[in-house]
Amino acid sequence: MKHIRILTGLVSASAVLSIAHAHTPRDDLDNNVPSPPKAEAISLVRVPLPPVAPSDEKGSCSLDVNPRGTGCVAKHNNLHSGHFLPDNQHFVAIANFTGAPAAPDPASIYQGQHVLVFKADDSTFANGDNWKCITCGLPAENSKGRTLFVDYPQAFQDGKRLFVGDNIIECEEDLVSEACTPKNTYMRPIRWNTSVDGKGPGGAMRELRLHPDNVHLGWSAFTMANGEFGQFSYYGRLAWNPDPVEGEPLVPRYDVEKVYRLFSADPYQNERVIVHPDDPTQLLIQSEVPTVGELRGFGGTGKEVTYVGAAVESSNIDVFATDLTTGVTRRLTSHPEYCDPVDISPNDEWHVVMDTRGTDRQMFLSGLRGIPPLTDIITSSVTSATRNNGQRRFFQPWIIDKHGDRGTYFGQQVNAQGDGVPGGGDFNDPVWNGRADPRWSWDGTKIVYTQIMPYAPACGDPNPLPCYPSTEDGGRIERIIIAHLTGREPLPTYQVEEAADEVPWGELYVPGETQPQRMSPPPGQYVLQGKHSGYAHVTLGGEGDKINFVEVIYYSFSDDGENVLKGTESVTVESPELTLSHVDWYSNLTQTGPWNGTKLTSADGFQLRIDVMVNLFDANGTMTTTVDGKEYYQPANGQ
Ligand SMILES: *[C@@H]1O[C@H](CO)[C@@H](O)[C@H](O)[C@H]1NC(C)=O
Ligand SMILES: *[C@@H]1O[C@H](CO)[C@@H](O)[C@H](O)[C@H]1NC(C)=O
Ligand SMILES: *[C@@H]1O[C@H](CO)[C@@H](O)[C@H](O)[C@H]1NC(C)=O
Ligand SMILES: *[C@@H]1O[C@H](CO)[C@@H](O)[C@H](O)[C@H]1NC(C)=O
Ligand SMILES: *[C@@H]1O[C@H](CO)[C@@H](O)[C@H](O)[C@H]1NC(C)=O
């Protein structure tokens, strides 16, 4: 285990031990990892939602439709649930109101995208609704400089503030009290200073997540370098600036200070595949370094940051958690299917994920376990883009204990209740798919999540998946479910320690600096040694430092002494446009052992064109993965 040396100074000795265990495919046999938990009791409840308006026409949301005059939503209104409030009795969500009458009708304020607080039980607010719109009717002078970008609703622990998109909402009173009204509620923009002179609107932040210490935040930002599309993630500190003197908008705002990029230019600390530091003819796979792609959030106690990371096993996209201080990294999921939304429980003991596991969507690519992530040097954007069919996601919510997938344990599906008939509308109807982010209550006894049905062209002719009619009230195609983990005791309320500003394994961000580059090994011929036996011959082709061809020939390659891999795989990738990729892929792999199977492309190979912003499958040829005799096929074109 030569590469542990590379991590010296970055991780503690105990971390090195747990890293060593992570290499064995049979963690369940390891004394340090407990046996998987037994399935637990889960009770599911639909949350009543604002009534559906008959149309988008002004005034269609009449008092007949909503007698309380508190607004209506469309069947499809971009509904998203988010955090619970600290009382665990409410949660925050986003919905797009429609059909409101014209001003000065008091109901005119229920129009457009807004932030709502819902009751998490069957009680109501004083007016009889089980929800309250926090931003409807907000005076313009209370929301100067706010952006219209509103997603991932999150809650501060003071019960008075919310975090949505790149805005912070603050009420002078408890959000859920009758005393909190639009008059004493404010919406403040967040600004990330990215210019040398401090001028301008600041950097475009996406996927913002509040740290549980309520002082720090994390986010991602796209990069474009060398004609390639990429992104880095960042971590910083919120600083209230009531009277800014530079930068837009010049309004009371939150500035982000002490920004760290969750990446360092040293490939030994950040890259999955590197050239061996002692032997330039060899490659090394670093299974345990932080490889922060898109940021997902933070652990319950705030020690870790979560993110979608570089594959550890070929074509298998997972979520990871890295300790902000030590850099110690754990893989939260390892099932071959695709995962991206994740929320770690407040005590760090569990995570809930949205995952395509169980749908077999990705198995044709990723079903064969333990293949080194070499083609992934160039295929990761393609292999993650195949997870969706346009707007249709194949996500379902799963809970997994902190030790992760192991042996035959792949977590417990949260919504495994109902007859599972497509279009039947039960909790486990596969046509209803999960949205980001599922969230734990702060006492760990509940999870709230949102689902949506596919709509054309992700269903309906020519797509072979029919568009099923909604079975929900008003024909809505979105719903919010609360899962009660009825066997769990509520966790005590606890104070999250304020996290450090510094991220020792990242680097301080300096406004105006040029973006660093992610580094893959340069073109050339390499050997990858099996950790147990055998080797692979690897050819990386391309121009300059840019790799566009990977060929791997496995010679009885084995990392664990149990699974032995033989055969070849080669891939060429072209990017005719920034977000569009075309791959030409040949696989002929055979593995023996507990993870036995094959990965085979048709004689003329498998060609796939996919735009990572659209995610429509368009292929020629076939790629088929067979695991223990079970065959997995690619989706049909357009699906
Ligand atoms: C909200 O719905 C209206 C139609 O009523 C639509 O024009 C608008 O784009 C939607 N906004 C968002 C953010 O979804
Ligand atoms: C932005 O950063 C520049 C360069 O460090 C600095 O001069 C400027 O004062 C900063 N402005 C703000 C508003 O943080
Ligand atoms: C796959 O490789 C095996 C072993 O080299 C070979 O016998 C077989 O013909 C190959 N199959 C294809 C489809 O190329
Ligand atoms: C193939 O894998 C399955 C599942 O791990 C195992 O039960 C079976 O014994 C394996 N077959 C061989 C020939 O190794
Ligand atoms: C599939 O083949 C057709 C006909 O040669 C070609 O036009 C198309 O671009 C190919 N698609 C891909 C994804 O390579």
Q: If residue 22 lies in a helix (H) or strand (E), which one and from where to where? A: helix 13-22
For 140-190, write each residue's pLDDT tens digit: 999 999 988 889 999 999 999 999 999 999 999 999 999 999 999 999 999
Among residues 377, 344, 343, the alpha carbon closest in space to that of 547 is found at 377
Lowest mean pLDDT of 62-76, 509-523, 556-570, name the range: 509-523
Whether the full predicted model's pTM is greater than 0.85, yes or no, is: yes
Query: Is 394's pLDDT higher than 60?
Result: yes
Domain annotation covers residue 564: yes
- Please identify, by atom number, the ligand 4 atom nearest to the C-alpha of residue 593: 14
Q: What is the DSSP letter of 345?
A: -
Q: Which amino acid, 468?
A: Y
Which residue among 382, 574, 601, 620 is best mutated to probe the pocket of ligand 5, counting the most ligand atoms within 8 A of its Cβ?
A: 620
The closest ligand to the CA of 255 turns out to be 2
Asked whether residue 574 is domain-assigned, the answer is yes
Residue nearest to atom 2 of ligand 5 (CA): 620
Side-chain half-sphere exposure of 394, counting CA atoms within 13 A: 21
Residues 6+ apart with CB under 8 A from 17: none
Q: Give the residue-averaged pLDDT of 84-95.
A: 98
Query: Is 487 inside any structural domain?
Result: no
In the prediction, which pLDDT does 31 show?
A: 64
Q: What is the pLDDT of residue 27?
A: 43
Range of the domain at 566: 524-633
Grade residue 138 by pLDDT with cuts at 50, 70 and 90: very high
**Is the beta carbon of 471 within 6 A of some atom in ligand 1?**
no
Q: What does the pLDDT look like over 488-505, one tens digit per residue?
A: 999 998 789 999 999 999
595 within some domain: yes
Question: What gap in Å lies between CA 155 and CA 162, rounded to an integer?
Answer: 5
Is 121 near ligand 5, meaning CB less than 6 Å away?
no
Query: Do the beta carbons of residue 418 and residue 428 sit within 8 Å?
Result: yes
| Residue 3: pLDDT over 90 | no
Number of the ligand 4 atom closest to the C-alpha atom of 597: 1
What confidence tier does 16 reach under pLDDT thresholds 50, 70, 90? very low
- 293 in a structural domain: no
Instruction: Please provide the average confidence, as pLDDT, over all residues in the chain.
Output: 93
Q: 611 and 580 in contact (C-beta within 8 Å)? A: yes
Q: How many domains does the chain have?
A: 1
The pLDDT score that the predictor gives to residue 14 is 26
Residue 32 predicted with pLDDT over 90: no
Does ligand 1 have an atom closer than 6 angstroms to the CB of 56?
Answer: yes
Answer yes or no: is 256 within a domain. no
In a domain, 625, yes or no: yes
Q: What would the DSSP string read from start to end of 549-584?
A: EEEEEEEEEESSSS-EEEEEEEEEEEEEETTEEEEE
Residue 29 pLDDT level (bands cut at 50, 70, 90) = very low
The answer to whether the CB of 617 falls within 8 A of the CB of 608 is yes
The CA distance from 320 to 233, in Å, is: 14
Mean pLDDT of 64-75: 98
The pLDDT value recorded for residue 149 is 80
Q: Which ligand is nearest to the CA of 61?
A: 1
Pocket test for ligand 1, best of 72, 80, 96 (most atoms within 8 A of CB): 96
Mutate to test the pocket of ligand 2, among 192, 194, 197 (most ligand atoms within 8 A of CB): 197
Whole-number Å distance, alpha carbon 588 to ligand 3 midpoint, is: 6
Q: Which residue has the higher pLDDT, 464 or 100?
A: 100
Residue 105 beta carbon below 6 angstroms from any ligand 5 atom: no
Q: What is the pLDDT of residue 225?
A: 73
Output Rg (C-alpha) for the chain, integer angstroms.
25
* pLDDT per residue as tens digits for the range 539-572: 999 988 889 999 999 999 999 999 999 999 999 9
Dump pLDDT digits (tens) for 316-334.
999 999 999 999 999 999 9
Percentage above 90 pLDDT, the chain: 87
Task: Report which of 114, 119, 115 is spatially closest to residue 129, judged by C-alpha positions.
Answer: 119
Instruction: Give the residue among 285, 341, 231, 212 at the shortest CA–CA distance from 1.
Output: 285
For residue 15, name the pLDDT band (cuts at 50, 70, 90).
very low
> Which listed ligand is nearest to 563 at the C-alpha?
4
C-beta of 247 in contact with ligand 2 (< 6 A): yes
Residue closest to 274 by CA, chosen among 588, 583, 5:
5
Residue 94: its H or E element: strand 90-97
**pLDDT tens-digit map of 278-313:** 999 999 999 999 999 999 999 999 999 999 999 999
Half-sphere exposure of 231 (CA within 13 A, CB side): 21
- Residues pairing with 52 in the sheet: 73
Q: 590 in a domain, yes or no?
A: yes
24 versus 258: the higher-pLDDT residue is 258
Cβ pair 499, 324 in contact under 8 A: yes
Ligand 5 neighbourhood includes 471 CB (under 6 angstroms): no
Predicted local confidence at residue 30, as pLDDT: 54
